Amino acid sequence: MYTVKEVAKLLDLTEHTVRFYTDKGLVPTLKRDKNNNRLFDEESINWLTGVKYLKQCGMTVEDIKTYVDLCLKGDSTIQERYEIILKQKEIAEAQLEEAKRTVKFMDEKANHYLDIINKVIPDDTNPGKWQEKNKMPMAH
């Protein structure tokens, strides 16, 4: 069994987030000790892992709760759960493409700075060093 602190570290979540998700009923297999402290077994860690990934796709806590409830209803909800996962997969793929664009942009910026550092080009990133032709037009 794991504590909130251990699970938070294991899943790279804050302790507050772990408590929040459990309070919202997103970890149906959660156990409690005699002092009412949350205890997690492998199954509850699996639930929490699923919640983490659904949340990262932008799913609301309410929608995740609906998904959890569908899981608990059993096999009759497999098609509905499948459709939810497909939708979230599309969102994750869109996030990945956006992340790729961001990495490409940052890679180009880093290469630009390397060219400046290696004296291939002058520093054109500092507005204080812009030459007359590069100055930004003043707003009127």
What is the average per-residue pLDDT within 114-127?
Answer: 88
Q: Kindly report the number of other CB atoms within 10 A of residue 49's CB atom.
A: 14
Provide the residue ranges of all domains of the chain, joining segments of one domain with +: 4-117
> Exposed, middle or buried by CB within 10 Å (0-12, 13-18, 19+), for 52?
middle
Tell me the CATH number of domain 4-117, given options 3.40.50.300, 1.10.1660.10, 2.140.10.30, 3.40.630.40.
1.10.1660.10
pTM to 2 decimal places: 0.72
User: How far apart are the C-alpha atoms of 83 and 136, rounded to whole Å?
Assistant: 50
Residue 138 — very low, low, confident or very high, per pLDDT cuts 50/70/90? low
Question: Each residue of 30-73: pLDDT tens digit?
Answer: 999 999 999 999 999 999 999 999 999 889 999 999 999 999 99
